[in-house]
Amino acid sequence: MAELSRNAEITAVIFDMDGVLTDSEPLINAAAIAMFSENGLKVVPEDFLPFVGAGEDRYLGGVAEKYGFALDLSAAKRRTYEIYLEWVPTRLHVFPGAGELVSACKQAGLRIAVASSADRVKVVANLQKIGLPVESWNAVVTGEDVTAKKPAPDIFLAAAARLGVSPQDCVVIEDAVNGISAAKAARMRCVAVAQTFPAERLQAADMVRPTIADVSVQDLCLLRASSPAGTGSQPPICAPAVQKQAAAATSIRPWGILPTFGLSALVAVSFVGIQLFVAFIWAFAAAFSHGGKLPRGWESNGLLLAIATCVSAPVAFGFTWLFAHLRKRGPARDYLGFRGVALKSMVFWTLALLGLVAASDLLTVRLGKPVVPEFMQNAYRTAGFVPVLWLALLIAAPVAEETVFRGFLFVGILHSRLGPLGAILITSLIWALIHVQYDAYGVFTVFVTGLLLGMVRLATGSLYATIFLHFLMNLIATVETICVLGTFA
């Protein structure tokens, strides 16, 4: 076997999907176990490990062979996918750092591909769900596109051909033993992430990282070319564009949990401080115009609240952006999650929000509570120049609050030991508690809405998605207020 060329350049990155981009391995495992159970065979998760990454035919067929179980493979695979696809909308999540690394590779000028042994229906569903749809890749190769599955090199060679690059210029990111063997057989460099198998079983790769969040574009450029045992290895040469941009286009490694909370507290202090300053100026002007006495209810005046929000929101956004930028681990927009989202995914979550709003309003009516809180009605009555209130409710508040909560705070918690569940729960709770203008029921409603927004952020990886849904939620509340009061002004 010939040694890799000393002149090989890294120009493309090929991502495996299951276990690398998504946490789909436990999900397809559970679906397969359920399928076997329906057919009268009890199997355990460990039975599937030797066949991870080899495609669903081998994944299911290998277990059936182990038990000497007669299996209609076509029907079994179809039923397994039926179960799996039912679970995808609510149980499939992107691995933290996956979207960031894909984005960083694009920014560095690298071509990117997905090469998965799974059938296309599964690949498309997974990529759509995690906000990295088929159209966002330079190439997508599935198990249906090749005859020989991993550990054969065919799928990676097909990906390189579709990308228009030499196999020696590719880096593969894998999580499975079979995938690493396929990459090495294709004469490609390989980074392994220990998200499915323990690191000690992945040592055949050129580099092993605990998670995909620990992989950067700089890591890819530091890989050493594969070579036969005993012949040594040479450092690869990144393409010129990559060499220039790799340092800036690394995947996100956010602030630790304590700095995240501390910096978020500073943002909160700046936000409240600006609002108090605006309130002080307002109170001084109001007292001056009323003979030295403050008018009754001045503190809940809608115009005051609108101005205070419009002034303080840019400050909170600016500090949050600054703290994300100071981390020096890629652009602040990637840190915070300002990335696109697939239209189909956005439609799904919009319908979910509309369903939640409808259910919440129905419950509110059943409990005999006002759909529009008295605070909101008073703010609207005293808004003065209503467009300022609309600006505060529909633009300033959604952008600032989502950037702080589902952006900066969410990312820091997500990459800590608290993980996805902690990120969703904690950001939702803190976000709900700052809404002191509402009663306990109103705060609980905000908390539940925050849970939905957190799930959207986790599923799509996009802050644009949560900002839009926050805007939509406030728009609905504004329309309801107008309907209750019977006036636009």
**CA of 335: how far to CAs of 58, 255, 398, 404, in Å?**
39, 10, 18, 12
Answer whether 381's CB lies under 8 Å from 300's CB: no
Q: Are residues 132 and 219 in the same domain?
A: yes
d(CA 150, CA 171): 16
Q: How far apart are the first and last CA of the chain?
A: 79
Residue 2, pLDDT > 80, answer no
Residue 245 has pLDDT above 80, yes or no: no
> Which among 36, 69, 91 is the end of a domain?
91
Continuous segment of H or E residues that includes residue 127 = helix 120-129
Q: Would residue 169 show up in a list of annotated catalytic residues for this protein?
A: no
According to the model, what pLDDT value does residue 296 have?
62
Structure-model confidence comparison of residues 438 and 53, the more confident one: 438
Catalytic-labelled residue, pool 18, 169, 175, 334: 18
Query: Are 194 and 148 in a shared domain?
Result: yes
Residue 227's CATH number: 3.40.50.1000
Q: Note whether 378 and 390 are same-domain residues.
A: yes
Q: Would 1 be classed as within a structural domain? A: no
Please state which of the ranges 47-61, 256-270, 319-333, 336-350 shows the lowest mean pLDDT: 47-61
82 and 213 together in one domain:
no
Has residue 51 been placed in a domain? Answer: yes
Residues 51, 131 within the same domain: no
- Tell me, yes or no, whether 394 lies in a domain: yes
- In degrees rounded to 5, what are phi and psi of residue 130? -90, 10
pLDDT at 452 over 70: yes
How many beta carbons lie within 10 A of that of residue 455, not counting itself? 18
Q: What is the pLDDT of residues 109-131, one digit of tens each?
A: 889 999 998 888 889 988 988 88
Domain limits at 420? 257-485
Residue 222 confidence (pLDDT) above 90: no
Give the pLDDT confidence of 388-437 residue by residue, as tens digits: 999 999 999 999 999 999 999 998 888 777 878 888 999 999 999 988 88
Do residues 298 and 366 both lie within one domain? yes
Whether residue 250 lies inside any domain: the answer is no
Residues 179 and 199 in one domain: yes
Is residue 231 pLDDT above 60, yes or no?
A: no
> Domain for residue 397, yes or no?
yes
Locate 81 and state its tokens.
């996918």
108: CB partners within 8 A, 6+ apart: 217, 241, 242, 245, 246, 249
- Of the residues 16, 23, 154, 206, only one is catalytic, namely 16
Answer for the pair 197, 36: CB distance below 8 angstroms, yes or no. Answer: no
The answer to whether residues 289 and 410 belong to one domain is: yes
252 assigned to some structural domain:
no
pLDDT one-digit tens code per residue, 280-330: 887 777 666 666 665 565 556 788 889 999 999 999 999 999 999 888 555
Judged against a pLDDT cut of 50, whether residue 1 lies above it is answered with no
Ranges 188-202, 319-333, 453-467: which has the least confidence: 319-333
Per-residue pLDDT of 474-489, as tens digits, reads: 999 999 998 888 765 4
Q: Which amino acid appears at position 437 of this protein?
A: Q
Nearest alpha carbon to residue 159 among 179, 178, 133, 130: 179
83 and 102 in a single domain? The answer is: no
Give buried/exposed letters for 370-393 (b at 16+ CB in 10 A, else e). Answer: eebbebbebbbebbeebebbbbbb
What pLDDT digit, counting tens, does each position of 178-191 carry?
A: 899 999 999 999 99
* Strand order through the sheet with 170-174: 139-141, 111-115, 12-15, 170-174, 189-193, 207-209
Give domain status of residue 2, yes or no.
no
Per residue, what are the HEC states of 84-110? HHHHHHHHCCECCCHHHHHHHHHHCCC
Q: How large is the average pLDDT for residues 344-363?
A: 92
Q: What is the pLDDT of residue 443?
A: 93
Q: Residue 171's pLDDT is what?
A: 94
34 in the same domain as 13: no
Instruction: Give residue 216's pLDDT band: very low, low, confident or very high (50, 70, 90).
Output: confident
Domain end (from 245, 277, 308):
245
Q: Cα–Cα distance between 107 and 207 in angstroms, integer?
A: 22
Task: Mark whether 57 is an active-site residue.
Answer: no
CATH number at residue 36: 1.10.150
Q: Say yes or no: 369 and 426 in one domain.
A: yes
Do 341 and 481 belong to one domain?
Answer: yes
Residue of 335, 338, 342, 334 whose CA lies nearest to 130: 342
Tell me what the pLDDT averaged over the chain comes to.
Answer: 84
More reliable by pLDDT, 153 or 28: 153
Q: Identify the pLDDT of residue 128.
A: 87
Q: Could you give the number of structural domains in the chain?
A: 3
Residue 441 lies in a domain: yes
Overall average pLDDT of the 442-467 stretch? 91
pLDDT given at position 119: 84
For the chain, percent of residues with pLDDT exceeding 90: 36
Residue 454 · residue 342 · CB < 8 Å: no
Q: How far apart are CA 319 and CA 308, in angstroms?
A: 17
Q: In the listed set 215, 245, 275, which residue is the last one of a domain according to the structure?
A: 245
**Share above pLDDT 70 across residues of the chain, in percent, rounded to a whole number:** 87
